[in-house]
Amino acid sequence: MSTVPLATVVLPTLADAVDETLAAALTDHAGHCLWCGSPDVSVVSADFWSGQVVIRCRGCGSELSGTVPRRLRGVPA
């Protein structure tokens, strides 16, 4: 009898959520604010070549910035 579970659920981490939010903003698909959930998010700056992105929520005023990982930009390693 195997002790390996039949199904494993992979829960996303906060880091995964931040990376995916920044990657979406890099492709002009700003989603919802991670902190308040507001859909009123604007991209302040985005540079595809470096992966640097800054987004700001107009609802709560929070700002999120970071670098999108290469794997999410579609750039080969």
Using CA atoms, how far residue 54 sits from 9, 10, 11, 23, in Å, is 31, 28, 25, 11
Give the separation between CA 29 and CA 20, rounded to whole angstroms.
11
pLDDT digits (tens, 9 = 90+) for 2-52: 666 666 667 789 999 999 999 998 888 878 898 999 999 999 999 988 999
Supply the pTM of this predicted model. 0.76
Beta strands across the sheet bearing 52-57? 41-47, 52-57, 63-67
